Amino acid sequence: MSTASVFKWRHFLPEIILLNVRWYCRYSLSYRDLEGMMQERGVAVDHSTINRWVLKVAPELDKRLRRHLKPTNDSWRVDETYIKVKGVWKYLYRAVDSEGNTLDFLLSAKRDGKAAARFFRRMLKAQHTQTPRVINVDKNAAYPVAMETLKGDETLAETTELRQVKYLNNVVEQDHRNIKRMTRPMMGFKSFNSARRTLCGIEAISMIKKGQVVEKGDSVSQAKFIEEIFGIAA
C-alpha cells in the first residue's frame, strides 16, 4: 500500500495521524486521552476518528517495519498470553529469541496444536528469523503436537529441539508485561479484527523500542524512523 493511499481521504495531515497512532501504540493511553491531548494542542479530533486511524495505519506500520528488522538468533522462547475480545479471552501467541528480540506474534481464537503449528509456520516465513536450533515452551500439550506436525511435513528439521522447561521462558513471560500494560486502558476489544490490527501496531512499536531496526535511541529518533518508512518528511 502506497503512502498516499494510506492517508487518502483523511481530513488531517499525515503527520497528525501518524503521531496519534504512534502515541496510542507506544503509551498506555485511551482514545479519549488522545482526544483531550489533541484539543490542548488546538486540534479538534474525535476519539472515534483516532480509532479508525489506528485500525488503518497500525497493520501498515507492522508491514513496512518487517523489511528493516535485524536478524534474530536461533534460540526461540514461545508462550501465549490472554487478550479479551468482546468479553471473551482469546490467545495471543508471542515469541522472542534468547536476547529478548521479538520474533513474531499471532492472535488466535483457540489454544491447540493447529494454532501453535500455524504460529510456528508464520515465524519460519518471517524475513528476520532463522530456523531454530531450540524452541523453549511451557508445559502446554499443544506444542509437542505442533512440532510433530511440522517435522512430519519437513517444515522443521529433525534436529530442532523442543524444551518444555518453564523457567527458560522467563524472557518471553516478562515481555508479555508490555502488552498487558498497553491493553489495560483499552478495556477489551470490540472485535477480533480490531484486536488483531491494534496489536500489530503495539508489537511494531515494541520492536522499534527494543532496537531491532535502529540502535536504541530516544523517542524522537524512533519517531523519525517511523516517518521515514511512511515517506513523510520530518
Q: Is residue 42 part of a domain?
A: yes
Total number of domains in the chain: 2
Range of the domain at 155: 75-178
Q: What's the pLDDT tens digit per position in 169-221?
A: 888 988 899 888 888 877 779 999 999 999 999 999 999 999 999 777 788 88
- Give 63's contacts (C-beta < 8 A, 6+ positions apart): 1
Q: Is residue 172 part of a domain?
A: yes
Clarify whether residues 139 and 223 are in a common domain: no
Q: What's the pLDDT tens digit per position in 129-181?
A: 999 999 999 989 999 999 999 999 999 989 999 999 877 788 898 889 988 88
Q: Is residue 234 part of a domain?
A: no
Instruction: Tell which of 178, 200, 218 closes a domain.
Output: 178
Clarify whether residues 84 and 169 are in a common domain: yes
Residue 117: exposed, middle, or buried by beta-carbon count in 10 A (0-12, 13-18, 19+)?
buried
Give me the long-range contacts of 48-51 (CB less than 8 A, separation at least 24).
50/20, 50/24
Q: Is residue 200 part of a domain?
A: yes
